[in-house]
Structure 1
Amino acid sequence: MDFPTSCPACRREVRVEFDDSAVHEVTCPACGARFVVFVRKHKFEVLFDLGTRALLDGYAREAVASFAAALERFFEFYVRAYALERAADSEGDFEAALAGLEGTWRHVASQSERQLGMLALAYLLREGRAPDFLAPQALGADFRNRVIHRGYLPRREEVEAYAARVFALMDRLLTELGEGAAHAELAQEQTFAARLAALPDGVTAVFEEHPGMFRARRFGTVRPEKTLAASSTDLPADGRTLNDAQTFARALAERGPGLDVFRRGLRSAPTPPQP
């Protein structure tokens, strides 16, 4: 999938393919200018948006794969946010904490079950209660496995229900994280800063923030406090209330059209800032 941006030299639109690092090296095909686009968006956000786009375009099975991957990467985001938040609260060295986190995560990077264990412990330590959302029923694990591993072709309404389940869980945990999410955002900014410092002469840096299903959460003027954790998306141990279809449907109606317009390039990309 790609996104539109504007060449900082000639202002013409350029289509750029999403890069796993969120850092995109671009050469304008019109004027030859070289620039690097830094997209302020975490991987779970990109993956969930790709799932939403696939759902809007009628690719139900492909949407499930993206939503499932988004949830896994969101769990990683939560663990990272918590670990860095603890380092900040204890007035520890952020750089050292980040290096330790990277070294630790390498031990579980290829093992989803161990990542779930890290999430469970991080949630228990941060919130003081067991993670009531990790039951297979609450996560929609059986549906995900049928689609991804057994080739099941889901109906759109089934995918919408699964997407609603994933969205509600992410929204709940982001609410509980509150300002804690800023620590993971800072880690991304530091990665960008390192790449920015290494840019050769003549290469322009462009920073962008794209529309998305979680944009209001991350860049809103008011962040929810941890005391607001008890919400309509809180759930009992059996996960019955996790599938908040109304919340997802509302978000899809509000932000889905923006995603579709942005993907198709029917409007100009935001004017990038000058370095």
Structure 2
Amino acid sequence: MHFPTTCPRCRRQVRAEYSDSGIHELTCPHCGSAFSVYLRKHKFEVLFDLGTRALMDGYAREAVASFAGSLERFFEFYTRAATLERAAGQGEDFGEVSAQLEQVWKLMAAQSERQLGAFSLAYLWREGQAPDFLTPQALGSDFRNRVIHRGYLPPRSEVDAYAARVFALIDRLLTRLGEAATHAQLEQERLYAVHLAAQPPEVFAVFEEHPGMFRVRRFGGQVGTKAGQPKTLPPSPANDAAAFQLALRERGALLGTVFGGVERAAVRGDTAPPDPA
């Protein structure tokens, strides 16, 4: 999947393929300038938006894979955010804890069951209660496995229901995280800063924020509570399906702008240099 960006030198549009790291090293096909695009968006957000886009375009089976991947990556996001929040509260060094967390996560990177266990423990530490919403039925595990592993071709109605279940769970947990999410965001910014520092001065750096199903919710919606406050997940509008459809009406159109324009902020080399004589 690709997204459009703008060359910071000639200001012409360039299409970039989504990178797993969020860092996109590009060369403008029009003027030959080298630039790096740093996407301020987490993988669970990108995957859910790709799933929503696939669903809107009629690719139901492909949408399921993206929604399932989004949920797994959100559990990682929550685990990282909660762990870093806990470390910050104890006065531990952010960089050291982040490095240790990365080492530990590599031990479970290939095993989703271990990742789910890590999330469960992080949730217990933060909320003071077990995550009773992790049953196979609540997660739609059987449906996911039938589609991804057994080649089941689902009707649109079943994919809508699965998308609604995943959206509602992520949305409620993201609200519960509240300001703790900034710890995971800081971790991403630090990784970008390391990459940026290693770039030669002639390479432009562009930071972009794309709209999506969760970004509007995170930066323009209700701020979540901190750990130690009421221990129940906030209710969604009426039910999961209603919550997802409401979000789709409010934010689904924004996904189209990802393919035709983005919120843009360039920090280094924002002003295009004069053409060489």
For normalisation by structure 2, the TM-score amounts to: 0.92
**Alpha-carbon distance in structure 1 between the residues aligned to 2:266 and 2:257:** 22
| Number of positions where the alignment pairs a residue of Structure 1 with one of Structure 2 | 265
Aligned position for 1:153? 153
Pick from 231, 234, 240: which aligns with 1:231?
234
In structure 2, the gaps of 5 or more residues are: 269-277
Contact 2:216-2:251 within 8 A present in 1 as well: no
CA distance 1:205–1:148, change in 2 (3 Å): same
**Alpha-carbon distance in structure 2 between the residues aligned to 1:270 and 1:181:** 21
Contact 1:6-1:269 within 8 A present in 2 as well: no
Aligned position for 1:191? 191
Quote the offset at 1:247 in angstroms: 0.6
Deviates more, 1:211-220 or 1:121-130: 211-220
Quick check: 1:95 aligned with 2:95? yes
**Alpha-carbon distance in structure 2 between the residues aligned to 1:99 and 1:271:** 30
Quick check: 1:27 aligned with 2:31? no
Aligned position for 1:262? 258
**Alpha-carbon distance in structure 1 between the residues aligned to 2:47 and 2:37:** 18
Counterpart amino acid of residue 155 in structure 2 = R
**Alpha-carbon distance in structure 1 between the residues aligned to 2:55 and 2:33:** 35
SS across alignment from 1:35? strand
Contact 1:25-1:36 within 8 A present in 2 as well: yes
1:145-181 CA-partner distances (Å, limit 9, x unpaired): 1111111101111101100000000011111111111
Quote the offset at 1:274 in angstroms: 4.2
Two-structure CA RMSD over aligned residues (Å): 1.6
Quick check: 1:273 aligned with 2:276? no
**Seq. identity, %:** 64
**Alpha-carbon distance in structure 1 between the residues aligned to 2:265 and 2:35:** 11
**Alpha-carbon distance in structure 1 between the residues aligned to 2:154 and 2:62:** 10
**Alpha-carbon distance in structure 1 between the residues aligned to 2:223 and 2:207:** 22
Counterpart amino acid of residue 85 in structure 1 = E
Counterpart amino acid of residue 216 in structure 2 = A
Counterpart amino acid of residue 91 in structure 1 = G
**Alpha-carbon distance in structure 1 between the residues aligned to 2:142 and 2:124:** 25
Aligned position for 2:68? 68
Contact 1:35-1:205 within 8 A present in 2 as well: yes
Counterpart amino acid of residue 218 in structure 1 = R
Counterpart amino acid of residue 257 in structure 1 = A
**Alpha-carbon distance in structure 1 between the residues aligned to 2:23 and 2:264:** 17
Aligned position for 2:133? 133
CA distance 1:232–1:150, change in 2 (3 Å): same
